[in-house]
Chain A
Amino acid sequence: MTAPLIEARALCKSFGPTPVLRDVNLSVEAGRAAAVIGANGAGKSTLIRLLAGLSAPSLGAALLFGEPARSLRPELRRRVGLLSHQSMLYPNLTARENLEFYATLYGVQDARAVAIEWLERVALGAAAEARVRGFSRGMEQRLALARAMLARPDVLMLDEPFAALDADGAALAAALVREAMDRGCAVLASAHSAGALAELGFAVFALGRGTVMSAEAAAARRSAARPALARQLS
Chain B
Amino acid sequence: MTSFVAVLRKDLLLEVRGGQSVVALGALSLLVLVVLVFAFNPGGGEQGAEAAAGALWVALVFSGMLGATRAVSAENENGCIRALLMSPLDRAALYAAKLAAAFIFMAVAEAASIILMVLFFNLEFDARVLRLVPAVLLGALGFAALATLLAGISSRLRGGDLVLPLLAVPMFVPALIAGVKASASALSGAAVGEFAVWLKVLVAFDVMFVAAGYLLFEYVAEEE
Beta-carbon contact of A74 and B2 below 8 Å? no
Binding site for B on A (CB under 8 A): 49, 52-56, 70, 74-75, 77-78, 80, 82, 84-93, 97, 101-102, 104-107, 147
For the complex formed, measure the closest distance between the CB of A80 and the CB atoms of chain B, giving whole angstroms. 6
Other CB < 8 Å A-B pairs besides A90-B10, A105-B87, 18 of them? A53-B86, A54-B86, A55-B224, A74-B90, A77-B86, A78-B87, A80-B86, A84-B79, A88-B79, A91-B77, A92-B14, A92-B17, A93-B14, A102-B87, A104-B3, A105-B7, A105-B89, A106-B87
- Which of B13, B80, B86 contacts A89 (CB under 8 A)? B80
19 contacts between A and B (CB under 8 A): A54-B82, A74-B88, A74-B90, A77-B87, A78-B87, A82-B82, A85-B79, A86-B79, A88-B79, A88-B82, A89-B78, A89-B80, A90-B77, A101-B6, A102-B83, A102-B87, A105-B7, A105-B84, A106-B88
Who on chain A is nearest to B83 by CB?
Answer: A88
> In whole angstroms, how far apart are the Cα atoms of A164 and B2 in the complex?
34
Which residues of A have CB within 8 Å of B74?
A: 90
For the complex formed, measure the closest distance between the CB of A161 and the CB atoms of chain B, giving whole angstroms. 16
Which residues of A have CB within 8 Å of B84?
A: 105
For the complex formed, measure the closest distance between the CB of A164 and the CB atoms of chain B, giving whole angstroms. 14
Query: What is the interface size of chain B, counting residues whose CB is below 8 A from a CB of the partner?
Result: 26
For the complex formed, measure the closest distance between the CB of A68 and the CB atoms of chain B, giving whole angstroms. 13
Which residues of B have CB within 8 Å of A70?
A: 222
Give B82-107 interface residues, CB cut-off 8 Å to A: 82-90
Which residues of B have CB within 8 Å of A53?
A: 85-86
Which residues of B have CB within 8 Å of A97?
A: 10, 13
* Given contacts A74-B88, A78-B88, A102-B87, A90 and B14 within 8 Å (CB-CB): yes
| Residue B170, interface by CB 8 Å | no
| Residue B18, interface by CB 8 Å | yes
Q: Interface majority SS on B: helix, strand, loop or mixed? A: helix
- Which of B3, B18, B78 contacts A105 (CB under 8 A)? B3
For the complex formed, measure the closest distance between the CB of B128 and the CB atoms of chain A, giving whole angstroms. 40
> In whole angstroms, how far apart are the Cα atoms of A84 and B88 in the complex?
18
Which residues of A have CB within 8 Å of B18?
A: 92
> In whole angstroms, how far apart are the Cα atoms of A112 and B131 in the complex?
44
For the complex formed, measure the closest distance between the CB of B75 and the CB atoms of chain A, giving whole angstroms. 9
Beta-carbon contact of B82 and A105 below 8 Å? no
- Which of A54, A93, A147 contacts B85 (CB under 8 A)? A54
Beta-carbon contact of B78 and A56 below 8 Å? no
> In whole angstroms, how far apart are the Cα atoms of A56 and B219 in the complex?
13
Which residues of B have CB within 8 Å of A89?
A: 78, 80
Which residues of B have CB within 8 Å of A92?
A: 14, 17-18
* Given contacts A77-B87, A93-B14, A55 and B79 within 8 Å (CB-CB): no
Which residues of B have CB within 8 Å of A85?
A: 79
Which residues of B have CB within 8 Å of A93?
A: 10, 13-14
Beta-carbon contact of B6 and A104 below 8 Å? yes
> In whole angstroms, how far apart are the Cα atoms of A56 and B223 in the complex?
8
Who on chain A is nearest to B224 by CB?
Answer: A55
> In whole angstroms, how far apart are the Cα atoms of A82 and B18 in the complex?
27
- Which of A75, A78, A88, A104 contacts B2 (CB under 8 A)? A104
Which residues of B have CB within 8 Å of A77?
A: 86-88
Closest 9 CB pairs of A and B: A86-B79, A88-B83, A74-B88, A104-B6, A78-B88, A105-B87, A92-B17, A77-B88, A54-B223
Who on chain A is nearest to B10 by CB?
Answer: A101
- Which of B82, B86, B90, B224 contacts A56 (CB under 8 A)? B224
Listed residue (A52, A53, A88) with the most chain B CB atoms within 10 angstroms of its CB: A88
For the complex formed, measure the closest distance between the CB of A136 and the CB atoms of chain B, giving whole angstroms. 15
> In whole angstroms, how far apart are the Cα atoms of A35 and B14 in the complex?
37
* Given contacts A97-B13, A105-B6, A90 and B86 within 8 Å (CB-CB): no
